[in-house]
Structure 1
């Protein structure tokens, strides 16, 4: 995409379709997605629960459930098509060493019977080739890097002796210990309180810079996105409906679903009024989706939205949106005043930087 093409592309997803077999039926969870990831950047993938965010990143790690499969498309990484991998032996070349993941529930990621020091050290030995004292010292360094104090003592402790936020730091340390090129963060702050969330987000930002990581950040919280992401991809019903730089999507979004997500932010609410919520429910992905999947919930929907899937319209060299409202023949729509004011204020602040 335009100026981004001057940067190094590290991962390219092309025309990906992922399906699941459930009780004799087939569910299409990912519907013909294409997406690029660029070196050193943080890409945030946002959308409601069930939009396909986690399925997408699990396919990059080879972690789809047994009833899930890639029906079509490519996942290109270092001259390999990960979509063609079929065995654990194939995935072991990639998982951890090249692409690592931080999950949203650290307790299920940690072994309750092993000290956290040993769990981190295992990754250091396996992926960095260090042994003995060198592996131990590297483990202590990693603990310090993720903000753990009194590291010699903490090395010997078990997961249950840590708080939720501290356990999440340990899981991040394990991921970093693998020395990956790409770090996937699947809603890593969901189970944490607001104060701890901010600390973890700052930690991830610092680690991205220190280790030169390329990051994919999965979230349904747009407030989180503004703090960590360089680019945003908005997902709805297994499809990417808008993609661009963070300020482009956040302050100049073009798809009505993006507008709806932003309108749901608490700061756009009016005191005494109910917070905005998106009416209706996402489509049934067991059935073929015709047109724009968001059309039945979209107050700005055109007749064609119910018939034909919109193409990606180019807004700028880095900003694309899949909505018929960008067709030159489409009528102009007037956004709610609160959303207009939010966009205008965001653009003003961006111009002042």
Structure 2
């Protein structure tokens, strides 16, 4: 698996820095802690994938960068630093208007609910340009047509006048991406951008995002529950579980030398690793109840190889390499040596077979 020079990225500018962020929601008179002290630095020009099961906090975490939390949610503590501003302190729409779209834009997973069915797609792209790029009328229209061409919509002048229902699912997703890119953002968050699409269209959309990243100098965050989807596009991978980032490393490190038992389980669940005639691996148990305080390692109750300390004390981050760290007591020098599952060892052999490349 070949990726962009990660060292070059990590020595570059940090565009967004999240430190010990805690996000809570009030639901039916109870308090739910959705994000539990997560920290992350995002580097200019990188593609970072945030992966984890549904409900692990991926979308909530990134929505907090844009002030898109539901009305019953709040940032309890921690900081989100962007261009000298602490976004965690923003309260009003006036605060967010200078960030949302113009600085940080999002591509949502369901293009049909992201588009206005009563407006032509061209007008929707043009509105983004007029709002965020100080262009008007014919000038904005011309740029909108160019951006529609950039996202792979042929005959874009004609398509400019059409409505969302005249487009296929894959084409609608391209329009949603065009609207986000039209804001001219620094950071583009892609929330499950290929979930509703078939496999061949998924590959096209991911390749399109890679091309746009180069052309528009974007820093991209991919949110997904499927590690296989981001194998070809991510420079780094952050693994989330129960509202915390439990492992962070380059794509190669997370795929071929994972350290956290949850990462082992996620990788073992990949259909690509299945053996014909044998049942696919599945992670036993269910994620923890976030209404209750979590003691120790949140994954411990589902981890057959959990240590006693996993049920008592939350592990700190242990550094594996300067680019790779994980929250697991297995990395403590005092820990017994536990080998990863056979499936993880098989990953190294799969590298050549998959032919995954990021060139």
TM-score, scaled relative to structure 2: 0.95
Provide the residue aligned with 2:266 in structure 1: 261
5 Å matches for 1:85-164? 85-164=90-169
d(CA) in 2 for partners of 1:36 and 1:139? Answer: 32
Q: Deviations over 1:164-189 (max 9, x none)?
A: 10000000000000000000000010
Please, which of 61, 74, 80 is the counterpart of residue 56 of structure 1? 61
d(CA) in 1 for partners of 2:343 and 2:19? Answer: 37
Q: Structure 2 stretches of 5 or more lacking a match?
A: 1-5
Bigger share in helix = 1
d(CA) in 2 for partners of 1:243 and 1:347? Answer: 24
Compared with structure 1, are the counterparts of its residues 126 and 108 closer, same or farther at alpha carbon in structure 2 (3 Å cutoff)? same
Compared with structure 1, are the counterparts of its residues 291 and 347 closer, same or farther at alpha carbon in structure 2 (3 Å cutoff)? farther
Are 2:236 and 1:236 aligned?
Answer: no
Are 2:221 and 1:210 aligned?
Answer: no
d(CA) in 1 for partners of 2:348 and 2:75? Answer: 38
Contact 2:271 2:280 in 1 (8 A): yes
**Once the 2 structures are TM-superposed, how far is the Cα of residue 338 of structure 1 from its aligned partner?**
2.9
d(CA) in 1 for partners of 2:41 and 2:209? Answer: 21
Provide the residue aligned with 1:271 in structure 2: 276
Q: Match of 1:95, SS?
A: coil
**Once the 2 structures are TM-superposed, how far is the Cα of residue 345 of structure 1 from its aligned partner?**
5.0
**Once the 2 structures are TM-superposed, how far is the Cα of residue 5 of structure 1 from its aligned partner?**
4.8
Provide the residue aligned with 1:23 in structure 2: 28
Are 2:12 and 1:7 aligned?
Answer: yes
Contact 1:226 1:246 in 2 (8 A): yes
Contact 1:251 1:347 in 2 (8 A): no
**Once the 2 structures are TM-superposed, how far is the Cα of residue 4 of structure 1 from its aligned partner?**
5.6
**Once the 2 structures are TM-superposed, how far is the Cα of residue 133 of structure 1 from its aligned partner?**
1.8
Please, which of 256, 280, 302 is the counterpart of residue 251 of structure 1? 256
Q: Deviations over 1:59-79 (max 9, x none)?
A: 011000000000000000000
d(CA) in 2 for partners of 1:158 and 1:336? Answer: 50
d(CA) in 2 for partners of 1:30 and 1:300? Answer: 25
Contact 1:3 1:317 in 2 (8 A): no
**Once the 2 structures are TM-superposed, how far is the Cα of residue 229 of structure 1 from its aligned partner?**
0.5
Contact 1:232 1:243 in 2 (8 A): yes
Q: Match of 1:232, SS?
A: strand
d(CA) in 2 for partners of 1:192 and 1:344? Answer: 29
Which 10-residue stretch deviates more, 199-208 or 121-130? 121-130
Q: Deviations over 1:79-108 (max 9, x none)?
A: 000000000000000000000000000111
Please, which of 308, 314, 319 is the counterpart of residue 313 of structure 2? 308
Q: Deviations over 1:138-175 (max 9, x none)?
A: 01100100000111110110001101100000000000
Aligned length: 352
Are 2:334 and 1:326 aligned?
Answer: no
**Once the 2 structures are TM-superposed, how far is the Cα of residue 2 of structure 1 from its aligned partner?**
8.3
Q: Deviations over 1:213-244 (max 9, x none)?
A: 00110000111111111000000000110001
d(CA) in 2 for partners of 1:123 and 1:278? Answer: 42
Contact 2:21 2:77 in 1 (8 A): yes
Which 10-residue stretch deviates more, 340-349 or 266-275? 340-349
Contact 1:121 1:139 in 2 (8 A): yes
Q: Match of 1:227, SS?
A: coil
Q: Match of 1:206, SS?
A: helix
d(CA) in 1 for partners of 2:179 and 2:142? Answer: 14
d(CA) in 2 for partners of 1:161 and 1:5? Answer: 43
TM-score, scaled relative to structure 1: 0.97
**Once the 2 structures are TM-superposed, how far is the Cα of residue 7 of structure 1 from its aligned partner?**
1.0
Q: Structure 1 stretches of 5 or more lacking a match?
A: none
Are 2:176 and 1:171 aligned?
Answer: yes
Compared with structure 1, are the counterparts of its residues 205 and 3 closer, same or farther at alpha carbon in structure 2 (3 Å cutoff)? closer
Say what the alpha-carbon RMSD is for the aligned residues.
Answer: 1.8
Which 10-residue stretch deviates more, 339-348 or 266-275? 339-348
